[in-house]
Amino acid sequence: MLSRLLNFRTILASVAILIVIGTVFYSQYISKKIAADETRKIEQWVEAIKANGSSDTTVTNLASRIMIENSLEIPIILATEKEEILDHRNLDSLSLVNDKNYIKKKVEEFKNLHQPIEWKNPYDTTQINKVYYGESKLLNEARYYPIVQLIIVILFIAILLMLLQSNYKSTQNQVWAGLAKETAHQLGTPVSSLEGWLEMLRDIKGNEKIVPEIEKDINRLLLISDRFGKIGSTPNLEEKNIVIQVQSMMDYIKKRAGQNVNFSLSSNNENLVTRISPPLFDWVIENLLKNALDAMEGKGKINITINQVADKINIEVTDTGKGISNANIGKVFKPGFTTKKRGWGLGLTLTRRIIEQYHKGIIYVKHSEIGKGTTFKIELNT
């Protein structure tokens, strides 16, 4: 699915780029044609002004017609050689009223756009007038159309990719939830059977030592089944003391870690209360501690610090294990990623899901150094 999505993104981006490039080139071509046509119209307009004083009525009428038709859209300013304004056409009437220097500003603007066209006054040959002209709305629209289209295409692609990503995540979440619930369902039948066999063993003399141990394992299986059953459902959050909750899980792991691992827990407040799902939160701490033990290969130190900063409860789990390389830090929470020879690489993925989706907190690798250890940090709201 991911490879298909990436291929689809590549094709979509390539098509969009080709469309935009083609549009840019075509729009530039159209803009140049319109600009050349407007320059030609202005030149004709100037020639028409020159011919307007002719004694030939036909020539005068034709010149007048050209003057009217060729200046319908193009902004024009007619000035003397000393830039004294003689006439203007197609300027913003509102700006003319509100800004006394508006025409002078437009003259400077038009100078940067086109070389003014000069012509001699037919009634005073010593006077050289200049025609400054700008660009019509049509030319500006043709020029800026590719930019507008580019923005539209980018927005379209962004929205489409967001929808695809959202749909992919939704499908992935449904698979996760379905897998977890099916696991809980499959565990239910043999665990119930084991509970029945356990009751039979209680009635047989000589089993007094093994029955409690078997009962512990069955309770452990019930807890695992309960955890998986809560994935995909909205868990019931309860107000719990985080320090006590973490201490309890640390004590559980400590008994199974061996004597070569030193555990410690510190907190700036022994009564840090927040709303959690106890079974799921215990699962988070258990996964982090087990990962720490695997990283240390049965020897080292694990330190847990719990502190409250403003409206946040911060939990840091630090080990003295082999650490995580910079290349892998961004991958540790992804499904399937593992550095162990055995395992599915799902523990930290479920851990992030539990913290972020069910407890509205965040979890990340705060620090890691090869050969020195790793610190995972959890931030919960109070």
Closest to 23 in 3D by CA, of 155, 153, 159, 156: 153
Whether 293 is in a domain gets the answer: yes
Per-residue pLDDT, 3: 52
Q: What is the pLDDT of residues 224-241, one digit of tens each?
A: 777 777 666 677 889 999
Residue scoring higher pLDDT (187 or 107): 107
Per-residue pLDDT, 56: 43
Whether 98 is in a domain gets the answer: yes
Q: Is 2 exposed, middle or buried (0-12, 13-18, 19+ CB in 10 A)?
A: exposed
Alpha-carbon span 345 to 334, nearest angstrom: 8
Residue scoring higher pLDDT (369 or 13): 369
- Of the candidates 108, 134, 160, which is a domain's last residue? 134
Whether 192 is in a domain gets the answer: no
Structural tokens at position 122: 């037919």
How confident is the model over 196-210, as a mean pLDDT?
A: 81
Per-residue pLDDT, 355: 92
Per-residue pLDDT, 182: 64
Structural tokens at position 344: 């599915």
pTM for this predicted structure? 0.52
Binning pLDDT at 50, 70 and 90, where does residue 122 land?
low
How confident is the model over 267-290, as a mean pLDDT?
A: 90
Whether 170 is in a domain gets the answer: no
Whether 95 is in a domain gets the answer: yes
Q: Which residues contact 195 (CB under 8 A, 6 or more apart)?
A: 218
Give me the number of domains the chain comprises: 2
Whether 175 is in a domain gets the answer: no
Whether 158 is in a domain gets the answer: no
Q: Does pLDDT of 126 surpass 70?
A: no
Q: Does pLDDT of 208 surpass 70?
A: yes
Under DSSP, the state recorded for 361 is -
Whether 300 is in a domain gets the answer: yes
Residue scoring higher pLDDT (230 or 194): 194
User: Which residue's structure tokens are 């847990």?
Assistant: 304
Per-residue pLDDT, 243: 94
Structural domain of residue 97, as residue ranges? 75-134
**Percentage of residues of the chain with pLDDT beyond 70:** 77
Q: Does pLDDT of 292 surpass 80?
A: yes
Mean residue pLDDT across the chain: 78
How confident is the model over 241-250, as a mean pLDDT?
A: 93
How confident is the model over 104-123, as a mean pLDDT?
A: 78
Q: What is the pLDDT of residues 55-109, one digit of tens each?
A: 444 434 444 454 455 455 778 888 887 777 877 777 777 777 677 788 888 888 8
Q: Quick one: 128 and 243 in the same domain?
A: no
- Of the candidates 118, 134, 150, which is a domain's last residue? 134
CATH number at residue 288: 3.30.565.10
- Of the candidates 88, 108, 134, which is a domain's last residue? 134
Q: Is 308 exposed, middle or buried (0-12, 13-18, 19+ CB in 10 A)?
A: middle
Closest to 246 in 3D by CA, of 211, 270, 222, 212: 270
Q: What phi and psi values does residue 195 have, to the nearest 5 degrees?
A: -60, -40
Give the helix, strand, coil percentages of the chain, each rounded to 5.
55, 20, 25
